[in-house]
Amino acid sequence: MSVPALQMAGVAVHGDEGSRPLLDDVDWTVEPDEHWAVVGPNGAGKSTLLGVAAGAIRPRRGSVAALGESFDAFGFANPALRIGVIEGRPRTYAENLTVEEVVYMHRTGPAAVMGSRIPESEREKALQLLDRFDCAQLAARRYRTCSQGERQRVMLARAMMREPRLLLLDEPSSALDMVAREAFVEAVGALVPESPGLATVTVAHHLEELPPVLTHAMVLATGRVLAAGRVAEVLSAENLSAAFAAPIEVEREGGRWRAALVAGVVSGR
């Protein structure tokens, strides 16, 4: 029997003294092969939730387990080693690093760029992943010369070098233009059918940034779970209107989602 990819019970995270909790009493289970969206207004706690899921933020209260282990587990048992994380803005690296080196450095570490021999199997895997995400032509290019959209797809290849069982995407399209966003969404959509057992969680500000492979969704507001479950039931006009405190209409076409303020309404924000 498979263990959950992620399990939270009664999780609470607090910020400054006297302020409201960043997360409050969150119960959440993500199973293998589930693909979640987490949406909500600014300050809802979305990025904090992903930080807890990645083991980067320790809750004040409650329990967290990923891939059947606590983040206190020692050595290779620590689930952080089997979780891929992609942030909103691609990381920067030393100017001389090529795209190929950035991808396989995840496994081989800094020694990879200090003259150590890289196994041919690692190089081949890196090139295969770059090809999967339509970046094979970038392999020999200096990473610093790549566009933001190219870098995000390279980051996707880099994350998959670890063969993660849980992939966390924190607003991965927020810094991309429309064309680059669509290329990235397409790359994530193509990844899922080829990765049985993989669970994903995508945090997004806009429903248009979500991949078409979603199975589940969570709506957060003021650190609390407003709704969670099957995506078609959760990403509703009612739930989003409640979260954003404004009348919102929601559309779905071809597996992609779109949300907008009801025509004629001025939010005042």
Per-residue model confidence as pLDDT tens digits over 187-220: 998 888 889 999 999 999 899 999 999 999 999 9
Q: What is the mean pLDDT of the chain?
A: 89
The span from the CA of 9 to the CA of 11, in Å, is 5
What does the pLDDT read at residue 196? 92
What does the pLDDT read at residue 269? 47
What does the pLDDT read at residue 263? 75
Strand-pair partners of 63: 9
Q: How far is CA 210 from CA 18, 171, 204, in A?
A: 35, 9, 7
Residue 203 φ/ψ, nearest 5 degrees: -90, 130
What does the pLDDT read at residue 116? 57
What does the pLDDT read at residue 104? 87
What does the pLDDT read at residue 158? 92
Q: What percentage of the chain exceeds 70 in pLDDT?
A: 92
CB 71 within 8 A of CB 92: no
Q: Which domains does the chain have, with CATH numbers?
A: 6-90+164-261 (3.40.50.300)
What does the pLDDT read at residue 108? 45
Higher-pLDDT residue of 75 and 265 is 75
Higher-pLDDT residue of 24 and 118 is 24
Average pLDDT over residues 127-133: 93
Q: Which amino acid is at 118?
A: I
Average pLDDT over residues 75-98: 83
